[in-house]
């Protein structure tokens, strides 16, 4: 299976609609400014050392009501705030402030398509010392149109990466730190150069961790299985969503545990999940078919349920969606 044409054709093609940057706003240095005016110095420490923390949030366009449904915004900002303590980046903004800024930016940008929302906490100033303490931090936010990040329909052909996931004692994967994405970039680049769509990381110990920028689930004997939170993964919000929906809506338990590499080849079904990846079926791992080599039945049910939930169509999960009239 191949990536969507948008992704294959280059890094600027992630969106399904043009990003009219000259008309868009960003939140930068405490103000809403035209996107093209939000610029950092080449001496910025986050640029030099990767000292930033970020989130990726999705807003789903609901054409019938001309609304954007932002999925689990509070949980994303709570994760950012939790990580900010570890990296001495706690902003002068509360959870409510961060949510309000996001809603306001969306209202100003008036999107009419599915969108990606990218908040970043970053080190600023001009110090050349790669330290975290006593270096000022700031918060910025931008949005852009975003369609499918991976092919959701046909299924992905992925490999186990030769690169190992960054261990918690090196750069914690659960922090979503900018610099850690060099690890992701190595795995994705090599996987694609070898003709795969994406990659699965193992931990330094050789057990299964996660995808390049998404969490991983297997289906075995009717149960969902996913690497536990101590397997150098990002504690994904979509992962949590799947565990909840599996249990509440489908009566399927998720086992969170250590997974051996060879279990990947024995799985009945497999899929990636994440804000970007959404629910992406995996049909081949290291050239071996997963199950019968087509997207699995349970994967499809979860995918359908997920899209109803994120578009705020199921009343019992409306509390996960912040609906913005644009």
Selected catalytic residue, list 123, 144, 176, 311: 176
Integer Cα distance of 102 and 275 in angstroms: 16
Core vs surface per residue 317-326: b (16+ CB within 10 A) or e: beebbbbbee
Interface stretch with ligand PLP, choices 153-161, 235-243, 245-253, 309-317 (CB under 6 A) = 235-243
Query: Please, which residues have CB within 8 angstroms of residue 11's CB and are 6 or more apart in sequence?
Result: none
Helix, strand, coil percent values for the chain (each to nearest 5): 35, 30, 40
Quick one: 135 or 224, whose CB is closer to ligand PLP?
Answer: 224
Quick one: 25 or 119, whose CB is closer to ligand PLP?
Answer: 119
Least Å distance, CB 58 to ligand PLP, is 8
One of 19, 45, 178, 236 touching ligand PLP (CB under 6 A): 236
| Residue 297 is a catalytic residue | no
Least Å distance, CB 145 to ligand PLP, is 17
Least Å distance, CB 92 to ligand PLP, is 24
Integer Cα distance of 322 and 319 in angstroms: 7
Q: Checking DSSP bridges between strand 67-71 and strand 278-285, what pairing results, if any?
A: unpaired
One of 45, 145, 246, 276 touching ligand PLP (CB under 6 A): 276
Residue 119 makes contact with ligand PLP by CB under 6 A? no
Burial class (CB in 10 A: 0-12, 13-18, 19+), 49: middle
Residue 226 makes contact with ligand PLP by CB under 6 A? no
Report the sign of the C-alpha dihedral through residues 89, 100, 82, 231, in that order: negative
Query: What's 177's DSSP letter?
Result: B
Residue 238 makes contact with ligand PLP by CB under 6 A? yes
Residue 213 makes contact with ligand PLP by CB under 6 A? yes
Least Å distance, CB 37 to ligand PLP, is 28
Least Å distance, CB 237 to ligand PLP, is 4
Catalytic residue list: 176
Residues in the site for ligand PLP, rule: CB under 6 A?
A: 56, 210, 213-215, 234, 236-239, 274-276
């Amino acid at each position: 299976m191949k990536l969507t044409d948008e992704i294959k054709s280059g890094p600027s093609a992630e969106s399904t609609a043009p990003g009219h940057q000259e008309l868009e706003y960003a939140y930068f240095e405490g103000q809403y400014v035209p996107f093209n005016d939000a610029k950092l110095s080449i001496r910025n420490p986050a640029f030099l050392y990767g000292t930033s923390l970020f989130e990726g949030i999705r807003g789903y366009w609901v054409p019938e009501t001309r609304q954007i449904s932002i999925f689990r915004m509070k949980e994303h900002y709570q994760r950012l705030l939790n990580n900010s303590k570890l990296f001495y980046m706690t902003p002068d903004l509360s959870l409510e402030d961060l949510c309000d800024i996001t809603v306001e930016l969306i209202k100003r940008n008036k999107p009419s398509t599915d969108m990606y929302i990218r908040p970043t906490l970053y080190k600023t100033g001009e110090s050349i010392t790669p330290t975290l303490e006593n270096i000022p931090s700031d918060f910025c936010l931008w949005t852009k149109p975003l369609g499918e990040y991976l092919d959701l329909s046909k299924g992905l052909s992925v490999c186990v990466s030769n690169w190992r996931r960054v261990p918690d004692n090196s750069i914690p994967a659960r922090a979503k730190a900018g610099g850690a994405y060099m690890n992701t970039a190595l795995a994705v680049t090599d996987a694609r150069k070898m003709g795969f769509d994406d990659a699965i990381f193992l931990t330094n110990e050789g057990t299964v961790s996660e995808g390049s920028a998404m969490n991983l689930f297997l289906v075995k004997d009717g149960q969902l299985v996913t690497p536990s939170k101590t397997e150098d993964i990002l504690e994904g919000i979509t992962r949590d969503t799947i565990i909840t929906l599996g249990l509440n809506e489908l009566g399927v338990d998720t086992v969170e545990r250590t997974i051996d590499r060879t279990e990947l080849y024995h799985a009945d079904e497999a899929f990636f999940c994440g804000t970007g990846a959404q629910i992406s079926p995996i049909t081949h791992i290291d050239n071996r078919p997963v199950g019968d080599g087509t997207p699995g039945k349970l994967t499809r049910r979860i995918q359908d349920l997920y899209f109803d939930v994120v578009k705020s169509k199921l009343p019992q999960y409306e509390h996960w969606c912040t609906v913005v009239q644009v």
